[in-house]
Structure formats: structure tokens, C-alpha cells
């Protein structure tokens, strides 16, 4: 095993990581509820504008120009657009699909990252990683199988969101060693706000939301912005190899919230598919942990 890194607290990191995943699940559940009344692009805009304002208030005064100074403006913009595509695809999918099933399809992203890490990042992909990715894809097929009763458009939106999320993760891995974490967080908020603000006139509502609806709409940005900040903080307190195996607890949150808030309970085959997706992801995560441990011992 590698020696402990000064300043790291793995248990705190795991706790923050789990909290971030819960906030992402709450974001999905809240957007699903609101999408029954409001257009998805309006909700996407709200998620980013609140995130952007939070960073202007709490982060910009300390970092100032360092918050926007980057050596990779093109990659920063592409990464931000990839997360915007993830958010839009996810919200559109959850409007049409149960939370658990939509989240399961979105979790195709880590499997895509495994397959694309070779051509994009120059990483070697062994037979075990290929096998895990194929098994995970079979799990997705179980979830979206004919006869499952899922909305086809919702499945397509979720698949689009998964592809966007895979690109986002690849670009994050590419930039994380060279850019300040808060700068990465700021560019996602900035680009998302600019793009969705330009589209806002076509999706604004005629009647103003009720006060309780405004609170829920604003909470989208709180869940997204604070969730990603906690997410980044978790990776400062614990190594990725420690945190990644816990990623699939978001499936548990999605299933629980889908049941409590919307009365959706996955059937046996869908639950089996979710379990296969989670198992393949854990296999990949634990394999990566073993590779990093072996590299450290050399």
C-alpha cells in the first residue's frame, strides 16, 4: 500500500463523497418533479445561474483573475459544454423515466471512459477492463430491454447524457493536473450560464412560479454547485482509488428517492441490470486501485 499523504483524511473524504452523491441524486429528483411543470431548458439555466452566482459571491473575491486565467481555454470550454450536455440530457431523461432506471443508463459513462481512455489518454486497456465494460453494457441492456416499458426518448436522452458525461470525465482527467480545481468548477458555471441565458427567451414561462417553486428551482443550483464543490474537496482528502468504489451508491439514492417521491420501484430484471452495472463499475474501480498500488511499489 502507498504511504499516507500528509493532509489527507480518507474517512472524511469518503463522507464528503457520499454527501456529494446524495446531492446529485437530490438534484435529479428535484428536476424530475419540476419538469412536470416547467421546460427542461429553464431548469438547466437555473441550475447554472445559481451555481455561477455562488462562485461570484464566495470564490471570486479571493481568487480574482486566477479564477479565469487558464492555459487551456478551448479544453475548458469543451469540458463545460460536456457537463452542460450531461445536465440537459439527464434532466430530459428523468422527465420521461424513473430515477433509478435513468441513473443506471447514465452510469454507462464510467464504462465508456474505460474504453476511450486508450485513444484519448494513451492508457493501456487490458482484457479485464474490456470484459468489465462489456458486462456493464449488458447490465444497461437489461435495464432498457424491450418490454421494460421505458420511454424510448427518455432512454435516448440518458444515453446522450452518458456520452457527454464520459467526455466530461476524460477532459477532467486531462485538465485536473494542470488547472486549479475551483477554476474547473467556475468554467462549468460560466459557460453553462452563458449558453442557457442565450436560449432563455425561448423557454421562459408566461406565469411566474409560486414562491415554493422558486425555492425548488433555486435548489437545483445549490445541489449542483455545492455538490461539485464537496466532490472536489473529497478528492483532496482521499485518493481517487479510495473514493471511486463508492460512486455507485448514487444508484441506491436514486432508487430510494424514486420510491419515496414518485412511487417507482424497479422490477426484478431491472434491479438485476442495475446490480450488474454497479458490479462492473466496482470491478473497474478496484482494478484501478490495484494498478495504482502496484505502480507505487515499483
Q: For 172-202, what is each residue's pLDDT tens digit? A: 888 887 888 899 999 999 999 999 999 888 8
Task: Output 79 or 134, whichever has higher pLDDT.
Answer: 79
**If pLDDT is split at 50, 70 and 90, which confidence band does 288 have?**
low
pLDDT(19) > 80: yes
Average pLDDT value for residue range 221-231? 90
Does 218 reside within a domain?
yes
- What pTM value is reported for the model? 0.87
Does 84 reside within a domain?
yes
Residue-level pLDDT at 186:
94
Residue-level pLDDT at 289:
64
pLDDT(76) > 90: yes
In the chain, the number of structural domains is 1
Comparing 76-80, 233-237, 264-268, which segment has the lowest mean pLDDT? Answer: 233-237
Residue-level pLDDT at 123:
65
Does 283 reside within a domain?
yes
pLDDT(2) > 50: no
Does 221 reside within a domain?
yes
Which residues span the domain enclosing 162?
10-291
Does 87 reside within a domain?
yes
Does 4 reside within a domain?
no
Q: For 265-277, what is each residue's pLDDT tens digit? A: 999 999 999 999 8
Q: For 124-156, what is each residue's pLDDT tens digit? A: 767 777 888 888 888 888 998 887 789 999 999
**If pLDDT is split at 50, 70 and 90, which confidence band does 248 have?**
confident
**3-state SS string over the chain?**
CCCCCCCCCHHHHHHHHHHHHHHHHHHHHHHHHHCCCCCHHHHHHHHHHHHHHHHHHHCHHHHHHHHCCCCCHHHHHHHHHHHHHHHHHHHHHHHHCCHHHHHHHHCCHHHHHHHHHHHHHCCCCCHHHHHHHHHHHHHHHHHCCCCCCCCHHHHHHHHHHHHHHHHHHHHHHHHCCCCCHHHHHHHHHHHHHHHHHHHHHHCCCCCCCCHHHHHHHHHHHHHHHHHHHHHHHHHHHCCHHHHHHHCCHHHHHHHHHHHHHHCCCCCHHHHHHHHHHHHHHHHHHHHHHHHHHHHHHC
pLDDT(5) > 70: no
Residue-level pLDDT at 206:
62
Amino acid at each position: 500500500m502507498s504511504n499516507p499523504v500528509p493532509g489527507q483524511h480518507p474517512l472524511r473524504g469518503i463522507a464528503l463523497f457520499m454527501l456529494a452523491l446524495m446531492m446529485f441524486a437530490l438534484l435529479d429528483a428535484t428536476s424530475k418533479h419540476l419538469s412536470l411543470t416547467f421546460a427542461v431548458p429553464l431548469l438547466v439555466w437555473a441550475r447554472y445561474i445559481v451555481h455561477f452566482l455562488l462562485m461570484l459571491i464566495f470564490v471570486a473575491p479571493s481568487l480574482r483573475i486566477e479564477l479565469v486565467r487558464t492555459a487551456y481555454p478551448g479544453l475548458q470550454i469543451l469540458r463545460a459544454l460536456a457537463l452542460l450536455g450531461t445536465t440537459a440530457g439527464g434532466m430530459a431523461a428523468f422527465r420521461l423515466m424513473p430515477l433509478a432506471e435513468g441513473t443506471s443508463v447514465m452510469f454507462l459513462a464510467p464504462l465508456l471512459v474505460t474504453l476511450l481512455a486508450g485513444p484519448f489518454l494513451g492508457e493501456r486497456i487490458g482484457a479485464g477492463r474490456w470484459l468489465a465494460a462489456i458486462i456493464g453494457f449488458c447490465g444497461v441492456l437489461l435495464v432498457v430491454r424491450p418490454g421494460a416499458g421505458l420511454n424510448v426518448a427518455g432512454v435516448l436522452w440518458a444515453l446522450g447524457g452518458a456520452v457527454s458525461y464520459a467526455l466530461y470525465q476524460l477532459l477532467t482527467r486531462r485538465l485536473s493536473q494542470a488547472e486549479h480545481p475551483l477554476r474547473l468548477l467556475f468554467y462549468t458555471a460560466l459557460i453553462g450560464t452563458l449558453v442557457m441565458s442565450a436560449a432563455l427567451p425561448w423557454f421562459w414561462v408566461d406565469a411566474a412560479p409560486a414562491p415554493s417553486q422558486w425555492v425548488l428551482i433555486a435548489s437545483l443550483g445549490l445541489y449542483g454547485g455545492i455538490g461539485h464543490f464537496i466532490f472536489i474537496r473529497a478528492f483532496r482528502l482521499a485518493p481517487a482509488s479510495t473514493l471511486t468504489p463508492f460512486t455507485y451508491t448514487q444508484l441506491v439514492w436514486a432508487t430510494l428517492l424514486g420510491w419515496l417521491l414518485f412511487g417507482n420501484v424497479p422490477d426484478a430484471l431491472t434491479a438485476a441490470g442495475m446490480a450488474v452495472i454497479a458490479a462492473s463499475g466496482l470491478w473497474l474501480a478496484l482494478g484501478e486501485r490495484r494498478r495504482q498500488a502496484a505502480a507505487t511499489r515499483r
